[in-house]
Structure 1
Amino acid sequence: MAASGAARTQLRVGRLVKAHGLKGALKLELYTDDPDGRFVPGAVFTLQVPESSPWHGKTVTVREFRWMNSHPVVFLDGVEDRDAAESIVRAILWIDQDETAGAEDDAWYDHQLVGLEVVRDGDVIGRVVRVDHLPAQDLLIVKLSGDPDREVLVPFVAAIVPEVDVAAGRVVVTPPAGLFEELPGDDADEPRPAEGPAEDAATED
């Protein structure tokens, strides 16, 4: 989520994925390594919802957080029944920077990532131009140095982006083959002309 200034910078910590039970509980998809520390009673979150949602422009306050059958579940003030819970499903929860600064070593804000050089095997191959937040994972959108008209979608996971150094202005990538370039060998896969007796038979005709 892009920020308009330092005071408005926010960190995404979860998404409400499903109503649970009849008393307003909601199952969570977590984007934080410290859910028990984030979702304490009284914690306030900004909601990312469509403008058509009755929750647009509002915040929510945690009433209770618990684990049910290994699934994280949250109760929110003002969400007292299943109908209210259904109305807020798919909302993404954000928290202000000043409430989270320094709390997680592997969490960055979009404005910190955009503009970083992308380094592969010691060479700068492009630059991060934006961050896309998808339900399954985040993506770094990289504009390639040698082909500025092309953008590559890089999954923002440790296996592919093992190092983020904001101070040095770079991210290090170890992408799988084919992510940044077309794999060679397409021509080699084409069938070759027949050899031997079959070729002789063709010349006899």
Structure 2
Amino acid sequence: MSDDRICVGSIGGAYGVQGDARIKSFCAEPTAIADYGPLASEDGKHTVSLTLLRPIKNGFAVRIDGVTTKEEADALKGVKLYVNRDTLPALPDDEYYHTDLVGLTVLDTGGEELGKVHAVHNHGASDVLEIRLPGSSATALLPFTLDAVPTVDLASGRIIADPPEGVFPE
């Protein structure tokens, strides 16, 4: 997948028996997923247009153009939905798309490498960076807060971190 596309959601399968589906939005404003026009699958071979019907637990009930049965909606379960980066709004200086953070080198305030960003997670409270430790498959979870991550430099591909005690092994 190229860097010019960003994952904005995923389809969770059928919602009811009329062909409606459930989706999970990864947008900062969850309803914005319906504003970006047709969404593409990860491989780019399929596009979907959707209409938000109502909020449901962990997402939205939606109507997908061309999907009329429960079986068709279930067949889309797990499909991730992408848009072109230039479709999305520009971000303020202190906000980042998760995809831009993955792969950045993380250094402590003394310049020592702590690892590379493997993934960005958000389980409801705030973002957490999963950092893969150098020369290891082990990871550490770093809160993505201004205190713990005072500097993100996308141009140089690095993050300066001041992690709370105990996040990284000594």
After TM superposition, the score normalised by the length of structure 2 is 0.71
The reply to whether residue 23 of structure 1 matches residue 10 of structure 2 is: no
TM alignment of 1:123-202, pairs within 5 A? 123-128=111-116, 131-132=118-119, 140-144=130-134, 149-155=135-141, 158-159=144-145, 163-173=151-161, 175=163, 178-181=166-169
1:117–1:124 contact (8 Å) kept in structure 2: no
| 2:40 matches 1:65 | no
Structure with the higher helix share, 1 or 2: 1
Aligned match of 1:91: 79
What's 1:36 paired with? 31
- What is the CA-CA distance between 1:118 and the residue it aligns to? 0.7
Distance 1:143 1:33, change over 3 A: same
Residues 13, 76 of structure 2: 8 Å contact kept = no
- Aligned-residue RMSD, C-alpha: 3.5
Question: How far, CA to CA, are the matches of 2:128 and 2:79 in structure 1?
Answer: 16
Shift of 1:138: 8.1
Query: Does 2:64 align with 1:109?
Result: no
- 1:51-62 aligned at under 5 Å gives the runs 57-62=45-50
* Equivalent of 1:76 in 41, 64, 80: 64
Deviation at 1:154, TM superposition (A): 4.2
Please give the TM-score of this superposition, normalised by the length of structure 1: 0.61
In 1, Cα distance between the equivalents of 2:118 and 2:131? 6
Classify 1:134/1:127 alpha carbon distance in 2 versus 1 (closer, same or farther; 3 Å). Answer: closer
Distance 2:38 2:151 in 1: 31
Q: Secondary structure at the match of 2:112?
A: strand
SS at match of 1:48: coil
SS at match of 1:85: helix
Q: Corresponding residue for 1:186? A: none
Cα-to-partner distance string for 1:146-175 (whole Å, 9 max, x where unaligned): xxx224434475256565331353223455
- Identical-pair percentage: 20
SS of the residue corresponding to residue 41 of structure 2 reads strand
Structure-2 change in CA distance of 1:89 and 1:122 (3 Å) = same
For this pair of structures, how many residues does the alignment match? Answer: 162
Bigger-Rg structure (1/2): 1
- Tell me the CA shift for residue 140 of structure 1: 4.3
